[in-house]
Amino acid sequence: MNRIVHIIKATGIAGAEQHLITMLPELDQRNFDICIIVLTEPKKPADKLFLALEQAGVTSERMIINSHVDPSLVVRLVRRLRGLDPSIVHTHLIHADLYGTIAARIAGVRAIISSRHNDDPFRSNWPLSILLRLVNRYTNRFIAISDRVRVFTIENEKVPASVVDTVYYGLPVYEHDEGQVVDARTEFGLSKGPLLVCAARLTEQKGHKWLLKAFKSVVDQFPEASLLLLGDGPLREHLEDTVINLGISNHVRFAGWRTDVMEILPSTDLFVLASEWEGLGLVLLEAMSLSLSIVATEVGGIPEVVVDGETGWLVQSKDSDALAGSILAALRSPNKMLECGRMGKLRVQNIFSVEKMIIDTEKIYNLLLTQIFGVNTVDSRDDVSSGYEGINKDMV
């Protein structure tokens, strides 16, 4: 039995955390003993994440990170990893990539994997970029959640292409009946007109300021239109002021964090995401799985999810006029929206399945275990066709 310890820094449940909640319970328990160390801030204990992990049957534990610079964390991680004695340490997000990798090497862990969940611009900034390049030397393999993130990791962090694999997020099949659907218009006091929805953290990355400017133009053409913003974050107060200044307060609702997003989405008409950068966009997969058509920015891994003209509309980022134009084009073409929604659901089912994600991830684990320990844990799952030929691409 090979123990694999995942490490992530988290304050709640976002894309990377939801990915782990989906993936970890599905890994082959005959060959892998899975646990996760969650680095949490003192005032942000991420209780919802731990509850979700517990409900998923995943062994988890908390370790406090006191600040971005916390040398004591390395010491504590080293001590814990020596106790756990893992075959592989698998890190997620920047704090785990740095602290987790350093601690794993000091603890004598021979196999380290890092998942790259985003093409974060800050990873290119000095001195972090230099530190990452040094630490990356101790990482055996990298998993990128999209081809765009793979290219970013290779080009910006100078990682050899031969050790960076692309494994898309997998989305579980979501089934609901009409009784579970939340009537968003009634729930949030919205009009009966077109209802746009965006589910994303209220941060600079997600580009809400461009969306709100675009939506002002939409309201000018569709006076009964509404915009529902699911999510919270540090920009909420500023964005609320923006809504007031634009004169669209009656048309926009800030719903905050919701645990029933998948019950809310079916009662909306169009999903919009105005990200300035994006590793993949798990929430886009969730919307597409519910047959929603998409208007999104053509950044990061989004074009690998949304096919322009087939499952939605793609526009340049930071261009509120272009965003408004595509939203208006969608609202004026209801039949096209229905067709995009239908094609989007098929795309999720065919390309972004949990089964494929699990098989591809296990193949990487097995490859690394074989290379380093001479251990082969391959089982009957590997006979299942997974499209694995898409991994280990050497051409950039």
Query: How would you classify the pairing of strands 226-230 and 293-297?
Result: unpaired
| Domains in the chain, number | 2
Give this prediction's pTM: 0.84
Task: Show the domain range for 69.
Answer: 2-170+353-384
- Whether residue 277 lies inside any domain: the answer is yes
pLDDT of residue 394: 40
- Whether residue 60 lies inside any domain: the answer is yes
Q: Are residues 104 and 14 in the same domain?
A: yes
Residues 31, 5: contact at Cβ < 8 Å? no
DSSP-based three-state secondary structure for 229: strand
- Whether residue 335 lies inside any domain: the answer is yes
* Residue with tokens 């939605």, as numbered in its chain: 312
25: CATH: 3.40.50.2000
Q: Are residues 192 and 102 in the same domain?
A: no
CA 356 – CA 351 distance, rounded (Å): 8
Q: Are residues 241 and 373 in the same domain?
A: no
Token pair listed for 360: 């591809």
Q: If pLDDT is split at 50, 70 and 90, which confidence band does 286 have?
A: very high
- Whether residue 258 lies inside any domain: the answer is yes
pLDDT digits (tens, 9 = 90+) for 169-220: 999 877 766 668 999 999 999 999 999 999 999 999 999 999 999 999 999 9
- Whether residue 394 lies inside any domain: the answer is no
- Whether residue 396 lies inside any domain: the answer is no
Closest CA to 168 of 343, 307, 359, 382: 359
Token pair listed for 382: 């590997």
Q: If pLDDT is split at 50, 70 and 90, which confidence band does 1 have?
A: confident
Q: Give the mean model confidence (pLDDT) for residues 323-330.
A: 98
The Cα angle at residue 194 between residues 191 and 196, in degrees rounded to 5: 105
The contacts found for 171-180 with CB under 8 angstroms, 24 or more apart, are 171/22, 171/282, 171/285, 171/286, 171/289, 171/348, 171/352, 171/353, 171/354, 172/22, 172/354, 173/289, 173/349, 174/262, 174/286, 174/289, 174/290, 176/262, 176/263, 176/266, 180/263
Token pair listed for 194: 């077109």
CA within 13 Å, CB half, 255: 25
Q: Are residues 135 and 223 in the same domain?
A: no
Helix (H) or strand (E) segment spanning residue 208: helix 208-221
pLDDT digits (tens, 9 = 90+) for 139-161: 999 999 999 999 999 999 999 99
